[in-house]
Structure 1
């Protein structure tokens, strides 16, 4: 147990240092594109990286399920974090937007490769402390990195007169630390119990009806999670806050995300799937704070961060409980694919709804969250009977 606890702590630190690298770069990518002469359209086109990210998650899940090997799973994790170390520092030498786009896509491929495999490992090593609490602590450490990265980038720019190249190179250092910690974790915990005895290959059917109902509920839940781009667009279009205030909304959201991760994860260990209900119920109530006032929007940002905390802990943990341990790699890959699709579809639908009118957008959120609750209850009620 001591060894597993050490590996758990190390993997938490891996996410912390990796997020310093990624989030630090993400915080200045847009301004860097402007510096090298790219247009706003090109900056927006970087979102294609997220599509690649979630498609790669699905591929990673398939690879893990096909080989059913602890070594392969660890190699996916190591490769994913190693790509992070390569892609971010190389941005320092990218003077054309095409190269920036290629490196962003490469970094997102790395994220997609490592995420499902890492979650499979986490779901196993956190069983002794409680998976909900374990994923919550992991998300908390992750958010520390998400805060530190942009802060580090800001300090370097401030003290070097705006040397973006130095920022990207410096951000490679915490990325290297992350790779070192992953390698150490693999040496401490090389074999996973889920692959100790190869089971029958059940494919997608082996994930079970409950898993797919859960995924459908998740997709509807995501539909009500307002795209951050839509949120900031509403702030700007309604002239609610100045440009210097807009980033503070995201700061509040990330702060709340990190603070709630541990308690909501611990709640999962006590009441299971029922703890996820707090996300759609909260989202349904959040529409009342989508008002053209700075106070209401700061409250909404806090709610958004709270729901993200639930998504990044309890929603992920539930996948490991809905499928057999041997199917977790495939389960997390399928989960990642549909989650990514729901976020992309949600952004489009929300944009159309907002164009029609704010009341229509509010109605969309309430209806989608209500149906999500119904689907989740399908999972919760049987589990209460057993």
Structure 2
């Protein structure tokens, strides 16, 4: 007998998964908002804090090169997803009760490893449902819910620190509640939709020539060109760290105002994700032309001495991040067939991470050297990105015509 299909609508699957991400963000973004002060309270130097957080972020991205292919080969998408979330939500509450610096350092890194474990599998599961809802808008709604958690988490921790007089134990311990809800929702979703691949037709498992795609099939050329485009864009993308450095060191805004600006940028992130996702489903990959434009706008206005322009630059930064976290992931799902999709997500994220690190270093160095040189360099980099996008689009159209 044929399978009756998933017992939840695709939209309900997307929104429940988005709620999972919202609650998980409350947990780990809440913890990340005080990682530096927490480690310092245990005796860490600035060097230790920098090394630990840097290793953690590198692990969250680089290890996806391993977890992605393993997910495809084992086909245990739910197992990888649940294991990754479990590692994150279990480690965070323990951060608040440990009295040993190196244990805390290990927990910080372990939380980031959890993100590497789950992300390729999670994005693949979500991609199946977005085949029904629309790739762009499906990933956009997920990202918007995610960002609500990113705002609530730090606010929750800040409120608990005020109530307890700066005690990290209760501030992080309270995050066990949303962490438990994450695992409960995941198990429920796994029970209701054991095979999300049923949202997506079987013929997506075939290449342009009609041959089947296996877990060892080469990734399409359009995917690699797309990775080159996104990586190039990120190399010319200023980080919020450099933006906030400019705000404070130039005396434009007090340090206490920076988190407020960041929260506003996260709101812009959610709005831009929804807008770009909606447009992507209607006009296609050309929507991504907004990304190089935003990347150039950011340094042009954010590194001035006008507070209004600086804030506008921060909002543009948030909008760009919204596109990166939603529509960029949607395109991967359209370029790569399901049997190789987790591998593709892992490689894509690792490349983005390396490019982001390079971009942060480049823009930081150029900021110290010359802001006009920074703007000119970013303009040149984004022109290269646009050229790569044009080549990728041409190949994509050719592949579509061949089908």
- Name the TM tier (shorter chain): over 0.9
The one of 57, 65, 76 aligned to 1:58: 65
Shift of 1:270: 0.5
In structure 2, distance between residues paired with 1:373 and 1:105? 36
Q: 1:261 aligns with which of 262, 265, 273?
A: 273
Whether 1:329 aligns to 2:342 is yes
Q: Is contact 1:7–1:188 with CA below 8 Å preserved after alignment?
A: no
Q: Which residue of 2 aligns with 1:48?
A: 55
Q: Does 1:159 align with 2:163?
A: yes
Q: 1:291 to 1:181 in 2, by over 3 A?
A: same
Structure 1 residue 306 displacement after superposition: 0.5
Alignment of 1:213-224 (within 5 A): 213-224=225-236
Number of the residue aligned with 1:370: 383
Contact 2:297 2:316 in 1 (8 A): no
* More off after superposition, 305-314 vs 238-247: 238-247
> Is the Cα–Cα contact under 8 Å of residues 82 and 186 in structure 2 kept in the other structure?
yes
2:134 is equivalent to residue 130 of structure 1: yes
Q: Match for residue 18 of structure 2?
A: 12
User: Superposition pairs for residues 168-187 of structure 1, below 5 Å?
Assistant: 168-187=172-191
Identify the residue that residue 278 of structure 1 maps to in structure 2: 290
C-alpha contact (below 8 Å) 2:237/2:360 kept by paired residues: no
User: 2: distance between equivalents of 1:55 and 1:220?
Assistant: 18
- Structure 1 residue 235: deviation in Å? 2.3
2: CA distance between counterparts of 1:163 and 1:42? Answer: 22
- What is the CA distance between 1:166 and its match in structure 2? 0.7
Partner of residue 253 from structure 2, selected from 226, 234, 241: 241
Aligned equivalents of 1:296 and 1:139: distance in 2? 26
SS of 2:63 mapped into structure 1: helix
Q: 2 CA distance for matches of 1:200 and 1:378?
A: 24
Contact 1:3 1:188 survives alignment (8 Å): no
Q: Distance in 2 between matches of 1:340 and 1:233?
A: 21
Superposed CA RMSD: 2.0
- Superposed, which structure 2 residues align to 1:66-145 within 5 Å? 66-67=73-74, 69=75, 72-145=76-149
Structure 2 CA distance for partners of 1:299 and 1:111, relative to 1, 3 Å = same
- TM-score, normalised relative to structure 2: 0.90
Counterpart-to-counterpart distance in 2, 1:336 and 1:382? 22
State the distance in 2 between where 1:137 and 1:4 align. 12
TM-superposed deviation, 1:261: 1.6
Deviates more, 1:7-16 or 1:355-364: 355-364
Within the alignment, does 1:24 sit opposite 2:30 as a pair? yes
| Cα distance in 1 between the residues matched to 2:383 and 2:100 | 46
* Shift in Å, 1:195: 11
CA drift at 1:115: 0.9
Q: Aligned equivalents of 1:159 and 1:285: distance in 2?
A: 41
Secondary structure in 2 matching 1:98? helix
Partner Cα separation in structure 2 for residue 317 and residue 13 of structure 1: 19
Number of matched residues? Answer: 382
Deviation digits for residues 157-190 of structure 1 (CA, Å, limit 9, x no counterpart): 1222222101111112101101111111111111
Long gaps (5+) in structure 1: none
Distance in 2 (CA, whole Å) between partners of 1:82 and 1:39 is: 29
- Give 1:35's match in structure 2, choosing from 28, 35, 41: 41
Aligned ranges 1:201-220 → 2 under 5 Å: 201=214, 203=216, 206-220=218-232
